[in-house]
Amino acid sequence: MPDSHSPRRLVLLTEGSLDPYNAKTAVGVLRYRPEHVACVLDSLRAGEDLEKLVGTGRGIPIVGTLEEALATHPTGLLLGTVAPGGRIPQSWRTLIIAFLERGLDVISGLHQFLTEDPTLMAIAARTGATIQDLRRPPADLGVATNIAKDQPGLRVLTVGTDCNLGKKVTSLEMARAARAAGWDAAFVATGQTGIAIDGKGIAIDAVISDFVAGAAERLVVESANHEVLFIEGQGAITHPGFSGVTLGLLHGSAPQAMVLCHHATRRYMRACPTPTPVPSPAQVLPLYERLANVLFPSKVVAVSINTLELPEDEARAVIARTESELGLPATDPVRFGVEKLLNALEPLRREHT
Amino acid sequence: MPDSHSPRRLVLLTEGSLDPYNAKTAVGVLRYRPEHVACVLDSLRAGEDLEKLVGTGRGIPIVGTLEEALATHPTGLLLGTVAPGGRIPQSWRTLIIAFLERGLDVISGLHQFLTEDPTLMAIAARTGATIQDLRRPPADLGVATNIAKDQPGLRVLTVGTDCNLGKKVTSLEMARAARAAGWDAAFVATGQTGIAIDGKGIAIDAVISDFVAGAAERLVVESANHEVLFIEGQGAITHPGFSGVTLGLLHGSAPQAMVLCHHATRRYMRACPTPTPVPSPAQVLPLYERLANVLFPSKVVAVSINTLELPEDEARAVIARTESELGLPATDPVRFGVEKLLNALEPLRREHT
């Protein structure tokens, strides 16, 4: 049984999905909480270079077996990939049980709650292991009451042309840089990966749809002691599967400022088995603003572009073209930093704090 | 214990909320399934004229006590009012238990599931009563896959400028008139009242938000054997509490045609404790169309106006003004029928069937 005061050392299970998009929970923890990671467990990628595969995690080993994972002296297992629908593959169950039997914790970001599985809970109770469902919402949520817009401070929400393209990373990078610049800034986690990184939040996509804006509203109200909130965006207003989550988050969190996130080279929306073209930033920008503006003033102040698949000169060209087309500052936060984004927010920060 | 082959005779509990909007589940059943109603139980309105209070239910008594309700020989109790958040008042529990103890069924449209209450379930098991949670979703829902748009037939969704203003009634009236006109038409219930009336459906506001469009998609696919589907709308794209439900339903059901519902005299949105003005039809109409059109062709073909609080000449004036402003046919379906709406749909029906 791990000492609860020792630092967390997690095995990140990515089994067969070790890329920056499918393994987004693992990659998020690798990027922002590398000190919590013992190893990545992925039998298809064992021995490969993690940083080459996912762009972060330098020096952290990828192992292929349970025995090798246990040899890294972990305190627990994190299920680090999320499939649409979030169902736990039967093949993972054996591994989960192996950890629990050894008194090691298990953390899951899936929709199917481990804490509702009597077999797993009985093992955990016997061995002293803990099971955490990152997506499990508070029991006392309700319908939003449209009060987020009246809270003090500046609220900045990342929105997108698609899901799974960098909204969370953009919010985290802005929060980190803002704090470094002396702003009283907080990151507000609205999804399982954000919660795994930040230790708190609500996975609003696991809240019943009547309460999705209410959950977002609560997160904003509870963090209103900070001057600037960087709220993790979800989905996209035009995504066939997730648009309801996105709009509930927009209306519930009532941001004065939005940063529009786009993927430079993606043609079809992710997490949608029928080919569905990604709309352009110019097409969705006015939709976000008009939907917000029925209830509160809000505008898109900058654009964040994921250029991961482009060489640097092409990435710079895409960014320059976007700036010219939309008349807004643009950047790739991971590649070129977020200074432009914070500069775009500075006048609103002065106005609202 | 009631004979399961005898017709359903329900006591509709509206305790203190007997008006057309707060008691929407009771009023929906009164309007469309009066043969299932034994009486209304409301101690504040006992003995009053039901039709005068809610515009329907002629001849059905309002009683004030449990004893009077039981004297109407009911087969069950329907919790007929829904508060935002859907929590069961403690004071109703005694009444629910009184019905269950007598072997009488209990039907609830609230978010708080009676079937998860061990005490109530134990009583029901002992007496043979059944408990039905209208909002309980199927266990196997998933993320929408954008396939509703490819189903055969015409899909007609009611959308609105606010929640709780007549979308369900408009859909039901269109379905009834369409069948009378010989169309192969079906009503698709997406909320607890629609399910209470139609006997099937999914309450999409009780589905976790990641699956809200998936639930709508499933309903459409399962009904695709009909030529025309009249899909019950939910909420409004601009409602601070419910907009996520509305957008998930729009994208998941992929209607080719929308009927925009508006309330002639309402100034502030319902189910929102902070005063929030209702937008105009002209303001929200292009938002609905543009949000839909990113994924599939769709247009608002007509307007449904709730004129309940207006004298007839003023109602006709509002309708004429709306038709002139928007260039679309308009009607109050309850007051003036739905002929104009079906006429507006007829060209699309011919195109898609």
pLDDT tens per residue, range A92-104 = 999 999 999 999 9
Residue B2 has pLDDT above 80, yes or no: no
* A111, A251, A279 member nearest B243 (Cβ): A251
Please count the CA atoms within 13 angstroms of the CA of B76 that sit on its side-chain side: 22
| Residue A165 to chain B, least CA–CA distance (Å) | 17
pLDDT band at A6 (very low <50, low <70, confident <90, very high): low
Query: Across the interface, do B241 and A210 touch by the CB < 8 Å criterion?
Result: yes
Residue A1 has pLDDT above 70, yes or no: no
A10-133 shares its CATH topology with A148-352: yes
Residue with tokens 């008194």: A103
pLDDT tens per residue, range B11-59 = 999 988 898 888 999 999 999 999 999 999 999 999 999 999 999 999 9
Mutate to test the interface with B, among A87, A113, A204, A208 (most CBs of B within 10 A): A208
**CATH number for region A148-352:** 3.40.50.300
pLDDT band at A20 (very low <50, low <70, confident <90, very high): confident
Residue A166 has pLDDT above 50, yes or no: yes
pLDDT tens per residue, range A207-218 = 999 999 999 999
What does the alpha-carbon distance between residue B287 and residue B8 come to, in Å, rounded to a whole number? 42
- Cα separations in angstroms, B289 against B69, B257, B335: 47, 10, 27
pLDDT tens per residue, range B308-335 = 999 999 999 999 999 999 999 999 999 9
- Across residues A26-38, what is the average pLDDT? 96
Q: List residues bridging with B300 in a β-sheet.
A: B258
B325 φ/ψ angles, rounded to the nearest 5 degrees: -65, -45
Instruction: Identify the closest residue of chain A to B135 by CA–CA distance.
Output: A208
Q: What is the pLDDT of residue A275?
A: 93
Q: What is the pLDDT of residue A353?
A: 87
Indicate if the alpha-carbon torsion angle A115, B192, B201, B249 is positive or negative: negative
- Across residues B66-95, what is the average pLDDT? 85
What is this model's ipTM?
A: 0.94
Contacts of B110 in chain A (CB under 8 A): none
* B86, B208, B283 member nearest A111 (Cβ): B208
Mutate to test the interface with B, among A210, A272, A284, A285 (most CBs of B within 10 A): A210
Two tokens, residue A220? 């904003």
Residue B84 has pLDDT above 60, yes or no: no
**Considering only CA atoms, which of A329, A23, A337 is closest in space to residue A164?**
A23
CB A282 within 8 A of CB A252: no
Average pLDDT, chain B: 95
What does the domain layout of chain B look like in residue ranges? 10-133, 148-352
Residue A2 has pLDDT above 70, yes or no: no
- Across residues A146-170, what is the average pLDDT? 97
Q: What is the pLDDT of residue A134?
A: 96
- Across residues A65-90, what is the average pLDDT? 85
Q: List residues bridging with A300 in a β-sheet.
A: A258
pLDDT band at B1 (very low <50, low <70, confident <90, very high): very low
B76 φ/ψ angles, rounded to the nearest 5 degrees: -175, 180
Contacts of A288 in chain B (CB under 8 A): none
What does the alpha-carbon distance between residue A102 and residue A328 come to, in Å, rounded to a whole number? 53
Average pLDDT, chain A: 95
Q: What is the pLDDT of residue A22?
A: 87
H helical segments located in chain A: 24-32, 50-54, 66-70, 90-101, 118-127, 167-180, 192-198, 212-222, 243-253, 281-293, 312-326, 333-336, 339-352
For chain B, the first-to-last Cα distance in angstroms comes to 47
Residue B83 has pLDDT above 90, yes or no: no
* B143, B207, B246 member nearest A208 (Cβ): B207
Residue A3 has pLDDT above 50, yes or no: no
| Residue B250 to chain A, least CA–CA distance (Å) | 9
**Considering only CA atoms, which of B342, B288, B336 is closest in space to residue B315?**
B336
**Considering only CA atoms, which of B75, B95, B102, B79 is closest in space to residue B9?**
B75
Q: What is the pLDDT of residue B318?
A: 98
Instruction: Identify the closest residue of chain B to A270 by CA–CA distance.
Output: B145
pLDDT band at A318 (very low <50, low <70, confident <90, very high): very high
H helical segments located in B49-152: 50-54, 66-70, 90-101, 118-127
Mutate to test the interface with B, among A294, A296, A298 (most CBs of B within 10 A): A294
Residue type, A295: L
Stated pTM of the model: 0.95
What does the alpha-carbon distance between residue A201 and residue A214 come to, in Å, rounded to a whole number? 13
DSSP string, A152-197: SSEEEEEEESSSSSSHHHHHHHHHHHHHHTT--EEEE--SHHHHHH
- Across residues A68-92, what is the average pLDDT? 84
Q: What is the pLDDT of residue A83?
A: 57
Query: Across the interface, do B213 and A243 touch by the CB < 8 Å criterion?
Result: yes
3-state class of A225 per DSSP? coil
- Across residues A21-34, what is the average pLDDT? 94
Residue A264 has pLDDT above 60, yes or no: yes
Q: Which residues contact B293 (CB under 8 A, 6 or more apart)?
A: none
The percentage of residues in chain A with a pLDDT greater than 90, rounded to a whole number, is 90
Residue A252 has pLDDT above 50, yes or no: yes
Topology at the third CATH level for domain B10-133: Rossmann fold (3.40.50)
Q: What is the pLDDT of residue B5?
A: 53
- Across residues B98-109, what is the average pLDDT? 97
Instruction: Identify the closest residue of chain A to B191 by CA–CA distance.
Output: A210
pLDDT band at B7 (very low <50, low <70, confident <90, very high): confident
What does the alpha-carbon distance between residue A335 and residue A313 come to, in Å, rounded to a whole number? 12
- Across residues B278-283, what is the average pLDDT? 97
pLDDT tens per residue, range B138-191 = 999 999 999 999 999 999 999 999 999 999 999 999 999 999 999 999 999 999
- Across residues A195-207, what is the average pLDDT? 97
Q: What is the pLDDT of residue B3?
A: 45
Q: What is the pLDDT of residue A73?
A: 97
Q: Are strands B76-79 and B62-63 parallel, antiparallel or unpaired?
A: unpaired
pLDDT tens per residue, range B117-137 = 999 999 999 999 999 999 999
